Amino acid sequence: MPADRRETILILGGTAEAAAIARRLVAAGADVVTSLAGRTSNPAPLPGRIRIGGFGGAEGLARYIAENGITRVIDATHPFANRISQNARLACAAAGIPLERPERPAWEKQPGDDWIEVESLDEAAAALPAGARVFLALGRQHLAVFESRPDCHFVVRMVDPPEKPLGFAGYDLILGKPSVNPEEEADLFRAHRVTHLVCRNSGGEAGYGKILAARSMGLPVVMVRRAT
Ligand code: NAP
């Protein structure tokens, strides 16, 4: 790239890591656009420019790259957000620009962890014992599969309230974000008499508070593995 042309970096975001990368690059003087899917109504402020909403598949993303003079893409989306990551690979290859995918290693089971490792959310639902009080640490688009377990009570945390009641026979709704502080997560689990946690092996610091809390309380965790 000619020395007089500044890079324009597109960060595919929606995660704590993406926000940290945006802060670092903007502080270093880069021209940065962070893209959010638009899942939360009030996203936390970010440095640099922000755009919100889907691109319209890999082709839409390639078009966005061309029309906005993007010179580099950083895919810092959630490790289970496979569709946008695949679109990013296709669009960057088509546009002939570099794509970076920062590593976010999966969590590894530690002494004291009681994990039931499964391959899918369907398997997670099937693994729950009758009568369990289950904290579902999952986005709202992943809850429906647990409606097959009316014999369990669910505890669900969301950033924004749901538009209509959830499809569970019995559930508690918590409005808020995960805490990195395991004691706060443990207080929440105790207050709702949680017996099991269900989550995906996302890795990273932001969601680890609940794993530490489950360890300290001896709670079983139904952990959905990453696709290999
Ligand atoms: P996904 O299944 O891979 O994406 C579904 C569609 O949403 C994509 O095809 C794309 O639509 C759009 N999309 C996803 N991420 C986008 C982004 N950063 N900017 C613009 N459009 C985006 O992803 P998902 O599992 O639904 O997750 C959606 C977003 O939420 C991701 O950005 C992810 O990083 C974030 N997320 C964060 C957490 C967290 O704990 N912080 C957890 C889960 C997800 P088009 O095809 O129309 O472009």
83 CB less than 6 Å from ligand 1? Answer: yes
12 CB less than 6 Å from ligand 1? Answer: yes
87 CB less than 6 Å from ligand 1? Answer: yes
State the distance from the centre of ligand 1 to the C-alpha of 126, rounded, in angstroms: 26
84 CB less than 6 Å from ligand 1? Answer: yes
34 CB less than 6 Å from ligand 1? Answer: no
Phi, psi dihedrals of residue 81, rounded to the nearest 5°? -85, 75
Q: If you average pLDDT over residues 142-149, what whole number do you get?
A: 97
pTM over 0.75: yes
State the distance from the centre of ligand 1 to the C-alpha of 37, rounded, in angstroms: 5
Which residues, 6+ apart, have CB-to-CB distance to 56 below 8 Å? 63
The model's pLDDT over 122-143, given as tens digits with 9 standing for 90+, comes to: 999 999 999 999 999 999 999 9
State the distance from the centre of ligand 1 to the C-alpha of 104, rounded, in angstroms: 16
84 has a pLDDT exceeding 80: yes
The model's pLDDT over 151-193, given as tens digits with 9 standing for 90+, comes to: 999 999 999 999 999 999 889 999 999 999 999 999 999 999 9
Residue 5: per-residue pLDDT: 62
Cβ proximity of 135 and 196 under 8 Å: yes
